[in-house]
A and B are shown apart, each in its own frame.
Chain A
Amino acid sequence: MFKREMKINFKSFVIWTSILIGLFLIVFLVYPSIINSENMEMMDEMMKMFPKEMLKAFNMDISSIDTAFGWLKTEGFVFVLLITGIYSGILGSNILLKEESDKTIEYLNSMPVKRKNIVINKILCGLVYIILMIAIIGIFNFIGLSLSGEFDKKSYILLSITPLFTEVVIFAICLFLSTFTHKTKKTLGISLGIVFASYFLNIISEMGESTEFLKYISIFTLADIRNVIVNVSINPVIIVLTIVITVIFMALTIIHYEKKELI
């Protein structure tokens, strides 16, 4: 069943990974010409015009965009986070529900397999693809950065791991939500909503003290890029929090799926 699951989800994995890689390929090809030109000075001037809060939201106050790594730390990771986030959300809401939406669950349910095992196989497949996507884009950018010049490798490696925390939690939450309906159409909007709403909450929370509390309800807080850039380490609390939230939602998924009417 796991093998079959991997096969079904392979195509969308390739498409989403290609989008990300294509995006960064363009950046690595174009960036050198931007850095070495006068445009950069102009960009710097422009940046100064932005309010501090805005720059903070994109980590531009602690990193500059005058190198490829600098860009990656600021805008680059926004793309990684959002695109892998959307992928994880769609994967989470589809992977289990697709059997019901396509009505193939009537077949699968009649096979000698426990419901719990159906869910576990789907979860494993989802996790493998999320990790694989983050690893591939991490390796690709590593090669790209190596070709573009010197950069802090430890800081980079830690940085490329950070999206994993957010994406695994998004996957787990969307998977759980998908057990409340029978049609994938319904969950798709909700899961994308969660990703975007959560992302904007995170941005707003970083703009000032009065909005800081919002970070506690944003999944993107788990991708603690600021901490990684400043301290070159991953906060252990984030790791524990990710594991706890993920395990809770996956357990809830299994419990709720056990009771679910499949038709």
Chain B
Amino acid sequence: MKKNILEIQNLTKYYGKIRGVENLFLKLEEGEIFGFIGPNGAGKSTTIRSIMNLINKTSGKVLIENKEFNKNDIEIKEKIGYLPSEIYLYDDLTVKEMLDYHESFYKKDIHKRRVELVKRLELDEKKKIEDLSLGNLKKLGIILALAHEPKILILDEPTSGLDPIMQNVFYDLLKGEKAKGNTIFYSTHILNEVSKICDRVGIIKDGNLIKVEKVEDLSKKSLTFVTITSEQAKEIIKDFKVNIISEDGNTIKFGNNLPHDELIKKLSKYKIDRILIEEATLEDIFLHYYK
């Protein structure tokens, strides 16, 4: 069995009476990339800020390698690389000065990895931080999160602002981290990313984690879209008790959770002129959970 690297136990955070997240349980194993998806305001950032101890939890705790992560635990902090969704750094510094300052926080020598990352992400060290474009600021953020070779990466919407070429460089970097056995908590609302790089996915809605599943299972089994043209369309709707997505005369389209053989068995009772079964994209599945 693989080791638990990050464990969230019963995390609840209320802002006064407003719920941020509630009773969130989650375990991340060594070497996995966990996609954390949800729309704005679902509780993604609250969860991440609670992990990072930027805000105080109403209840619950976060364990890193089975040890509770308290805000002053330097040893654990050294194991974490954090990339916030919006990066705010010291505008008066150049990229080089910022990276030098960053190096000063770590006991071990992280210079070599820093140089590697700067080269890989093609960042100009001479530029002032206040002059960096959003994309370049993101690159700097990525370097700051990865330079000390952390065992756990907590990334909040890491690719926003990166051009497609850099996104691919970044995905490669993450694959490299995974290959080293490092664990990645990847918060995003870009579903395409999840199917591309994540092993498992957790869907958060209104502060509750409503589903945790392997990415391949989620896209395999959950949802198909069925379009049928039949004179008996109305009876089919009655029989299946489905939510109709569209209806045009005798043609209906609905979302289907049944396995294919069961679906066909049920439909065989009817006279069907035309049938189309489509695999739902991850985006469709996501929207399905948010209805």
Interface residue ranges, A against B (CB under 8 Å): 1, 4, 8, 102-107, 109-116, 258-259, 261-263
Q: With A and B bound together, what is the CA distance between A25 and B72 in angstroms?
A: 49
Q: Are the C-beta atoms of B74 and A112 separated by less than 8 Å? A: yes
Q: With A and B bound together, what is the CA distance between A1 and B103 in angstroms?
A: 11
Chain B residues with CB under 8 Å of A102's CB are: 88, 90-91
Would you list which residues of chain B between 217 and 250 have a CB under 8 Å from chain A?
none
- Of all chain B residues, the one with the shortest Cβ separation from A263 is B54
Of the A-B pairs whose beta carbons lie under 8 Å apart in the complex, a sample of 27, sorted by A's number, is A1-B105, A8-B90, A8-B92, A102-B90, A103-B86, A103-B88, A105-B54, A106-B52, A106-B84, A106-B88, A107-B87, A107-B144, A109-B52, A109-B71, A110-B77, A110-B80, A110-B82, A111-B77, A112-B75, A112-B77, A113-B105, A116-B72, A258-B71, A258-B72, A259-B56, A262-B54, A263-B55
Q: Is B180 an interface residue (CB 8 A)?
A: no
B267 to chain A, nearest CB (A): 53
Would you list which residues of chain B between 50 and 101 have a CB under 8 Å from chain A?
52-56, 71-72, 74-75, 77-78, 80, 82, 84, 86-92, 101
Q: Is B49 an interface residue (CB 8 A)?
A: yes
B204 to chain A, nearest CB (A): 19
Partner of A114, one of B72, B84, B87: B72
Chain B CB within 10 Å — which of A104, A107, A258 has the most? Answer: A107
Chain A residues with CB under 8 Å of B102's CB are: 111
Q: How large is the interface on B (under 10, 10 to 19, 20 to 34, 35 or more residues)?
A: 20 to 34
Q: With A and B bound together, what is the CA distance between A1 and B102 in angstroms?
A: 10
A-B contact count (CB 8 A): 59
Q: Are the C-beta atoms of A110 and B72 separated by less than 8 Å? A: no
Q: With A and B bound together, what is the CA distance between A107 and B82 in angstroms?
A: 8
Inter-chain pairs besides A104-B89, A110-B80, A263-B55, 6 sampled, C-beta below 8 Å: A102-B88, A102-B91, A109-B53, A112-B105, A113-B105, A114-B74
Q: With A and B bound together, what is the CA distance between A115 and B53 in angstroms?
A: 11
A112 to chain B, nearest CB (A): 4
Q: With A and B bound together, what is the CA distance between A106 and B82 in angstroms?
A: 9
A89 to chain B, nearest CB (A): 23
Q: With A and B bound together, what is the CA distance between A107 and B105 in angstroms?
A: 12
A103 to chain B, nearest CB (A): 4
Chain B residues with CB under 8 Å of A114's CB are: 72, 74
Chain A residues with CB under 8 Å of B86's CB are: 103
A95 to chain B, nearest CB (A): 14
Digitize B156-200: 1 where CB-to-A-CB distance is under 8 Å, 0 elsewhere: 000000000000000000000000000000000000000000000
Chain B residues with CB under 8 Å of A4's CB are: 101
Chain B residues with CB under 8 Å of A112's CB are: 74-75, 77-78, 105-106
Q: With A and B bound together, what is the CA distance between A81 and B280 in angstroms?
A: 73
Chain B residues with CB under 8 Å of A258's CB are: 71-72
- Of all chain A residues, the one with the shortest Cβ separation from B77 is A112
Chain A residues with CB under 8 Å of B49's CB are: 263
Q: With A and B bound together, what is the CA distance between A8 and B49 in angstroms?
A: 27
Chain B residues with CB under 8 Å of A113's CB are: 74, 77, 105
Nearest first, the 10 closest Cβ-Cβ pairs linking A and B are: A103-B88, A110-B82, A112-B77, A111-B105, A114-B72, A112-B78, A112-B74, A261-B55, A263-B54, A262-B54
- Of all chain A residues, the one with the shortest Cβ separation from B91 is A102
Q: Are the C-beta atoms of B72 and A115 separated by less than 8 Å? A: yes
Q: With A and B bound together, what is the CA distance between A110 and B154 in angstroms?
A: 11
Would you list which residues of chain B between 92 and 143 have a CB under 8 Å from chain A?
92, 101-102, 104-106
B285 to chain A, nearest CB (A): 32
